[in-house]
Structure 1
Amino acid sequence: MLSITPTVKNLLILNILFFVVDSYIFNLTNVFALRSVFSPAFYPFQFVTYMFLHGSFGHLFSNMFGLFMFGPLLERGWGPKKFLFFYFFTGIGAGILFSGIDYFENSQVRQAVEIFTQNPTPDGLVDFMSKHAERIYEANLDFLNKFEGNPTNSGYIQQSVEFVNSYYQSLINTPLVGASGAIFGILMAFGLLFPNTELFLLFVPFPIKAKYFVAFYGLYELYAGFQNAQSDNVAHFAHIGGMLFAYILLRYWNTQKTNFY
């Protein structure tokens, strides 16, 4: 059994340390998690710091298990500096792609909020919720029915305006945390560099080659990202971003005649 490599070990220690501090000593998420660029709590350094924070022990364990399983082989082949650069490049890239998608989506919500605020009507609220807040539509049916029954009620009008603004604020202030982008980058690199390595996965009764596993995972994340299930709080586009930036970096390195260490 191969021993763990130095950079992987240090990354494991840092992630665990940050999780313990954030969970039991001092809240780090408020400042260091990645926020939407529309949020007043957004800072550029969050593209780095969000990678060391996790929402739960299960989230931490799954990411660190992936780092422990696939990271050492890459570090041995590349060396510590190159592996560390790859880790941050893919992790930051994942955050950038996620933020780009988030910017596009929240721009639409922001515009819809401005339009509704100028003319708050029951039909406008139904239209807003059906397009941008479908997951909480049923939970607010009672208020919608009351508003439709009395559209000139000043209290209902004010409450509807507060609702759309509150919903928008919740979107732009929802933090992104986790090393998943970098881990998916590592997974992509492993699949490209060791495509025929057979992996034995839990709940799968037969071995599967790394290239097929990576392809399946990538397609699933792409589907899940566009599907955007209402009950799903997984940042699929961050995962896709990690894989995409890993692919770009590996292709770039393959064009270079000199090694980068």
Structure 2
Amino acid sequence: MTYYRYRFSFGYGLTPVVKNLMIIMGAIFLFQMLVHGWIEFYFGLVPILVRNNYFLWQLFTYIFLHGGFSHILFNLLALWMFGGELENYWGSKKFLFYFFFCGIGAGICTILFTPRIYQHIPVIGASGAIYGILLAFGWLFPNRPIFIYFLFPIPARYFVIIFGLIEFFSSMGGSGGGVAHLTHLGGLVFGIFYMVYPILRQKIRREYYKRKWSQRGPGSGGYYH
């Protein structure tokens, strides 16, 4: 259990997207309790079905299913604690895009890298998207303290690094123990890509214009933007 404290409270308020996501996930979880079984097979992420039968919708729907009370409570708590801050910083549209970018990206990683013996097992939960949110929070607010077990403060960037290393080494064992570590790691990887891509694009563009300018020579005139 982790605790994020900012000013006098953590996860202060509910931003629109975070609120709606929490309501939708909670409602779907209650529905799961009534129709347990088939819904995970058709709407969870089953790698072999996506590969062989093109159940592509599962890359989206698996995010909203959860495997138990502790599973959904952890994800909703993390979404509330960290997601609202990101939504306030980015705006609702960008935050929602990022949430699904990491969630679907985590699903793609799951399909590509899950060992064959686990490919028939449904993967469910928003954890991939949540790990992407943790990554973005640590990236944008690296020095914010996160309290582990309500006692020990640790800067957000180190918290993310520790969790990333745990998921990396845990993923070596596939999906053992009922935890899809590959999915968590995939959310982190896609989160990193999202954060790094604008920097790389700007750098590449700058190098492109720099080379083009040098080829034309200083006396040729013209400006590049």
Q: Please tell me the TM-score bracket, short chain as reference.
A: 0.7 to 0.9
Partner secondary structure for residue 207 of structure 1 = strand
Q: State the Cα distance separating 1:72 from its structure 2 match.
A: 0.3
Kindly report which structure 2 residues correspond to 1:173-184, keeping only aligned pairs within 5 A, or say none.
173-184=120-131
Distance in 2 (CA, whole Å) between partners of 1:95 and 1:220 is 19
Q: State the Cα distance separating 1:29 from its structure 2 match.
A: 1.5
Q: Letter of the aligned partner of 2:133 in structure 1? A: I
Q: State the Cα distance separating 1:242 from its structure 2 match.
A: 0.3
- Which residue is equivalent to 2:27? 17
Distance in 2 (CA, whole Å) between partners of 1:245 and 1:212 is 19
- Structure 2 unaligned segments of length 5 or more: list them: 1-8, 203-225
Kindly report which structure 2 residues correspond to 1:74-223, keeping only aligned pairs within 5 A, or say none.
74-102=86-114, 105-106=115-116, 171-202=118-149, 205-223=151-169
| Structure 1 consecutive aligned stretches of length 4 or more whose deviation exceeds 6 Å | none
Tell me if 1:30 matches 2:41: yes
Select which of 36, 53, 59 maps to 2:65.
Answer: 53
Please provide the CA RMSD for this pair.
2.0
Q: Letter of the aligned partner of 1:71 in structure 2? A: G
- Structure 1 unaligned segments of length 5 or more: list them: 107-167
Distance in 1 (CA, whole Å) between partners of 2:41 and 2:145 is 41
Name the count of aligned residue pairs: 190
Q: Letter of the aligned partner of 1:186 in structure 2? A: I
CA radius of gyration, larger in: 1
- Which residue is equivalent to 2:213? none
Taking structure 1 as reference, are residues 75 and 100 closer, same or farther at Cα in structure 2, changes over 3 Å only? same
Partner secondary structure for residue 13 of structure 2 = coil
Distance in 2 (CA, whole Å) between partners of 1:240 and 1:226 is 11
Identity of aligned residues (%): 41
Residues 195 and 210, structure 1, Cα contact 8 Å, conserved in 2 = yes
Q: TM-score, normalised by structure 1?
A: 0.68
Taking structure 1 as reference, are residues 179 and 229 closer, same or farther at Cα in structure 2, changes over 3 Å only? closer
Tell me if 1:235 matches 2:180: yes
Taking structure 1 as reference, are residues 21 and 69 closer, same or farther at Cα in structure 2, changes over 3 Å only? same
